[in-house]
A = this chain, B = another copy of it.
Amino acid sequence: MTSKQEFIEKLRNSSLRPTKQRINICEVLFNRDKTFHFTISDLFNLIKDKTGEKISLATVYNTVHAFHKKGYLKEIPINSNQTYFDTNVTDHHHFFDVKEEKLIDLKNEDIGPIEIQKSIPGKKIKSVEVLVKLED
């Protein structure tokens, strides 16, 4: 449970002005026990439901990208018509339930270390992500 004050400080420390909208979005995104996987439209709808206040879609996009740029959100590569984001910004892997269109975190020990035996001259590894698709 993070207090509104803490979000305000975190925003200020990130040189993001603590607006009403951003604080609401923080509360929806980060006041949770578990990691949260979402699309912009998930979030847009959830804000209306949880806070009662409507935030414009443009602001939701702006804020998600601001948070993403600051490293508070992660983008998850899935083939879908919508971009998925994740409040768990650590390096980790996923199940993707194709039918439910739901992402599930895997702990690193659920997969174990991945040793990449190949390299490309002049390039270095930025991230390693495993996506395990699930069906019924």
Interface residues of A (CB under 8 A from B): 75-79, 83, 95, 97-98, 104, 106-107, 109-112, 114-118, 120, 122-136
Contact = CB atoms under 8 A, between A and B. Distances in A.
A18 to B, nearest CB: 29
The 10 closest A-B pairs by CB, nearest first: A123-B134, A110-B118, A126-B133, A126-B135, A77-B79, A127-B133, A110-B117, A77-B77, A128-B132, A75-B79
A136 B133 CA distance: 30
Contacts of A77: 77-79, 131
Contacts of A112: 114-115, 117
Nearest to A83: B79
Nearest to A107: B118
B122 A116 contact: no
